[in-house]
Amino acid sequence: MPTEIRPQCTPADLTVIVADRHPFARAALAALLSYDGYRVFQGESFQKTLSYIDQMPSLGVLIADLETPEWRSIVRHAVDTTSALVIAMEGNHPFSEIYDLKARGIQICLQKPIVYSDVQKAIQRHFRIRQLSQRAREPIAAIANRLFNLNS
């Protein structure tokens, strides 16, 4: 089976939507992606996420929290209307054991706590991006706590 050849791109070439029900985790992941040069939008609600997907037919990446109640509709809409890389995040509920995520259009499923370098590597491999910034292998939740001083 031949391997699909994708042209190299830079983070600035990609638009990313982060759809996570946890506002601090969503903001922290969006901030890290923005810092690395991606154009990032935060899907803070079901309607907002669908609106962003509709506005971006050339969407590069959708990162969806599988603990968001509407995740199936969000993923289906992205798969039906874009050619985006769909990265899922799952936590306490083993969605990958219950659902055939690949059949739903999810290419990558990461286990929480999410480590930013795992997100970086997934995007890098898919889009053949050469330069990655160096981040500590630290869970996004810890970064959110530090960014937003949640433990103060």
Per domain, the residue ranges of the chain are 11-144
CA distance 54 to 37: 22
11-144 fold: Rossmann fold (3.40.50)
| Contact present, 67 and 25 (Cβ < 8 Å) | no
More confident residue, 132 or 146: 146
pLDDT class of 41 with cuts at 50, 70, 90: very high
The tens digit of pLDDT for each residue in 50-107 reads 999 999 878 999 999 998 889 999 999 999 999 999 999 988 766 666 678 888 999 9
pTM for the whole structure: 0.80
Q: Is 42 helix (H, G, I), strand (E, B) or coil?
A: strand
pLDDT at residue 43, rounded to an integer: 96
Closest CA to 66 of 51, 39, 84, 87: 87
CA distance 60 to 17: 8
DSSP bridge pairs for 66: none
Task: Answer yes or no: is pLDDT of 30 > 90.
Answer: yes
